[in-house]
Structure 1
Amino acid sequence: MSVSSVIAAALVAVPLSAPIAAPAPLAGSAETWQRADTVAEWYDTTAATIAAAGASAQVTNSRTWAISWLSAARALRHRPSPPAFRDAALASAVHRSLVTLVPSRKQELDAALAASLARIPEGVDKRRGVAAGTREADALLAERDKDGLDPQSVSPPYTPVSSDPGVWRPTPPSFSPGVQSGTRDAKPFLPATRSQYRPAPPPALTSERYVKDLEEVRVYGAAGSTARTPAQTETAQFWLGSSLTLYDGVLRAAVVQSQDRSQSWRTGLVALFHVALVDTQIATSDAKYAYVLWRPVTALQVTDPSWTPLHNTPAHPDYPSGHNSYAGAAQQVLTALIGPRSRRPYTIGSPTLPGVTRTYTDWKRPADENIDARVWSGIHTRIADEVGVRLGRDVAAHTLRNAVKLFS
């Protein structure tokens, strides 16, 4: 069965499990009311909510996205589902999830829900939609309770396993303790085990590949590199920030460009994207702390204590790259559901390079730039980047193959 067929099967409608008795809607109201793009509206509300008051851990914020939009996708499978039902169900599911997971934004979220519901004519369809969205959100919140993706569980105290060559240790300038080691113990949405897609071990320190990759970082990733071009420096700076933030614009472009697809399909796209990303981040943490490979800065300072990377090194092991596993998963989901190219060129910005935008026509080039960017930042070996992309694609492919399980 093709990926498209699997997704279609996952989003097949089911009868409304608990219909609510109500008077019939006003005659003609469902046909005459002016509809907004509720998917894009609540996409932006979700992004704004997390940007304003999200958790400190990226994977926790990915979880918030996944729960909010998977509950909405589940609600939209119910029948009957006229437009009033669909808009009310989507808005109510995302609202209920966000208010529960980001309670500090309740006032803003309540106002957003009120605005969405005010456009919908009163009647049985609206009430059923609100009930279905709220019910699905509550059920999924209960299902994911204590799944180990809260910030405290994600980053428990971590002690390096040894000080031997090749083993990760805290890196300059802050020498911060290792973070994200607990993500590997979290409950995934779909894989049977956290290590199901664990990549092969990194190359030996004396191997031709590792020596070559480390030399590339030394030459192109140094703070004062004369080999790195201004364009390469810009790429490193552009992709420096949170992958969740950087890929918000990429996914939004896909959502907006798919307005001719059904509301259920577009909601499912957002849900599957973030479910895949949660599971990818769990798998990435598993691999990082299984292999605990030291960072380039540690390796290079053994022979040159003055060597400094362009950007400060994050406080977790090198292999595989988390930025790139995220990019690989995003590429896989968008390519499988939309195709290798976007319908129209799309433009995104970067919080770490204000005022600069980049325009793309496919989903692969951002991943390719992520691979280069982490090398030119001086914080990852190329093998860690390339393996990260492959890991993300593998996990996301698993998500898509098993999508129907998310809606059962």
Structure 2
Amino acid sequence: MPSSSPRTPAPSTSEPLRARRGRAVLATAAAAATALTAVGAPPAAAEKSVDVAVEWYDATARTIAAAGATTQSTNNRTWAISWIAAARAVRDTPPGVKRRAYQDAALASAVHASLVALAPTRTEDLNAALHRTLERIPDGASEDRGIAAGKRQARTVLASREGDGLDPTSVNTPFPTPEPGPGVWQPTPPSYSPGIQAGNRRARSFLLGRADRFRLGPPPALGSARYRADLAEVRAYGSIDSTVRTPRQTETATFWLGPSLTLFTEPLRVALARSEGRPAARAALVALFHVALVDTQIATSDSKYAHLRWRPVTAIRSADIDGDPTTTPDPNWTSLHNTPAHPDYPSGHTTYAGAAERVLTALVGPRTAPFPLTSPTAPGVTRTYTAWRTLAQENVDARVWSGIHSRTADTAGVDLGHRVAEHTLRNADRLFR
């Protein structure tokens, strides 16, 4: 088990530091995106009857929905590989070809070849999608060379990621349950399953390097004022029979209960569809989003399994050993939603949301026109958003109101996601050489 001592100081929460760091990352990311683009002006909007990037974004989403892995980081990996290949394939337009025909064929072929390799059961549907795209492109050297470039880049990226430890078996390698003790994670009701996703921390990242590069400092000490406040909030607001949680808060908890990848697929699509620029930069937006999310999940598992902080349900039911002798245990306390089978600190949902927020803010700006969002765990509910930051803020609250995370675990998660995403953006050029 890795040492629980922090590798880096806990991130500052000062707004001036965050603002300076955000501006620096924005400048670096903009420079990286510019470096990806081919020389020359992008195609005029009037020329584009079909947005091939969005067309193949939707094809990727359908493929993941129909044949995706059981582990979220594996599915983010599929997205990342496919769209790194796409960004590389359209990076340079060779002389003597029609730019749009070449780039459309290259992008579609790169994503198609990657997905066929990673989700072979969807080959027939993917072949049909590729046929539809290529049917719109005039036959000739531009199309042929684009197809060849897409296939070549797919092969290269796939080979570079072989054996990276992000397959479901490696991600969910068995984790031995630690001996019980104050503050130590234990399996949680109702299933009391062993810890999952511990293998993420041993996977090979895209850009992070060491899994512990941004390991969080320790969570609040048992019995400290912060710890007691966290526990009291979850106990009151996260209980299945809470008398203080409002209907709107319950809806928020339920809305953000589903898998983060599922919930963030539409916001990223909105960003892509509304983005302007050359095809390489637009493909890089999708690639960098998912690269950051793979690396964030690696960093999240590192901190979770380094600190092994127990979940609120365990703490509340065992409050006589939480360091505060005045706290009364509640052995029958039950959270609104079932607790996932891994430690509390940090929250995986909020690290994901923090990374997503930072990538979208850096590459397309902090706000967009209003867009609707639905959730598979809240049928019939539609929410409207204009700022990526709001998605992260709601994730923080949602995990507390679900009764499955402390607020400290949630806010620390957003900070960790920010830091990994900033590292991804600073090093983006390494992906597209």
TM (normalized to structure 2)? 0.88
1:57 partnered with 2:60: no
Partner deviation per Cα, 1:242-272 (whole Å, 9 max, x = no partner): 00000011111111111x3222221110011
Q: 3-state DSSP class of the match of 2:386? A: strand
Of residues 373, 377, 382, the one that matches 2:407 is 382
Identity between Structure 1 and Structure 2 (%): 60
Deviation of 1:162 (Å): 1.8
Quick one: which amino acid aligns to residue 295 of structure 2?
Answer: D
Quick one: which amino acid aligns to residue 160 of structure 2?
Answer: E
Deviation of 1:6 (Å): 2.7
Of residues 275, 279, 293, the one that matches 1:263 is 279
Call closer, same or farther: CA 1:5–1:353 in 2, change over 3 Å: closer
Quick one: which amino acid aligns to residue 282 of structure 1?
Answer: I
Contact kept, 8 Å, 1:39 with 1:263, in 2: the verdict is yes
Of residues 146, 159, 164, the one that matches 2:176 is 159
What is the alpha-carbon root mean square deviation over aligned residues?
1.4
Contact kept, 8 Å, 1:3 with 1:336, in 2: the verdict is no
Contact kept, 8 Å, 1:10 with 1:403, in 2: the verdict is no
1:141-180, aligned counterparts within 5 Å? 141-180=158-197
More deviation, 196-205/318-327: 196-205
User: Counterpart of 1:288?
Assistant: 304
Contact kept, 8 Å, 2:37 with 2:281, in 1: the verdict is no
TM (normalized to structure 1)? 0.93
User: Counterpart of 2:346?
Assistant: 320
Quick one: which amino acid aligns to residue 36 of structure 2?
Answer: L
Call closer, same or farther: CA 1:5–1:234 in 2, change over 3 Å: closer
Deviation of 1:35 (Å): 4.2
CA distance in 2 between partners of 1:10 and 1:308 (Å): 52
User: Counterpart of 1:27?
Assistant: none
Q: 3-state DSSP class of the match of 1:163? A: coil
User: Counterpart of 2:290?
Assistant: 274
CA distance in 2 between partners of 1:267 and 1:196 (Å): 27
Partner deviation per Cα, 1:22-70 (whole Å, 9 max, x = no partner): xxxxxxxxxx997411011111110111011100000000000000001
More deviation, 154-163/370-379: 154-163
CA distance in 1 between partners of 2:342 and 2:129 (Å): 38
User: Counterpart of 2:359?
Assistant: 333
Quick one: which amino acid aligns to residue 52 of structure 2?
Answer: T
Equivalent residues, number: 389
CA distance in 2 between partners of 1:293 and 1:166 (Å): 6
Quick one: which amino acid aligns to residue 275 of structure 1?
Answer: V
Contact kept, 8 Å, 1:66 with 1:271, in 2: the verdict is yes
Deviation of 1:348 (Å): 0.8
Quick one: which amino acid aligns to residue 168 of structure 2?
Answer: P
Contact kept, 8 Å, 1:297 with 1:309, in 2: the verdict is yes
CA distance in 2 between partners of 1:331 and 1:371 (Å): 13
Quick one: which amino acid aligns to residue 66 of structure 1?
Answer: A
CA distance in 1 between partners of 2:107 and 2:342 (Å): 37
Gaps of 5+ in 2: 1-23, 40-45, 319-328
Deviation of 1:192 (Å): 2.2
CA distance in 2 between partners of 1:8 and 1:375 (Å): 37
Deviation of 1:384 (Å): 0.3
More deviation, 196-205/2-11: 2-11
Of residues 28, 38, 41, the one that matches 2:55 is 41
1:8-407, aligned counterparts within 5 Å? 8-13=33-38, 35-80=49-94, 82-258=99-275, 260-302=276-318, 303-342=329-368, 344-407=369-432
Partner deviation per Cα, 1:82-139 (whole Å, 9 max, x = no partner): 0001000110000111111111111111110111111110011101100000000110
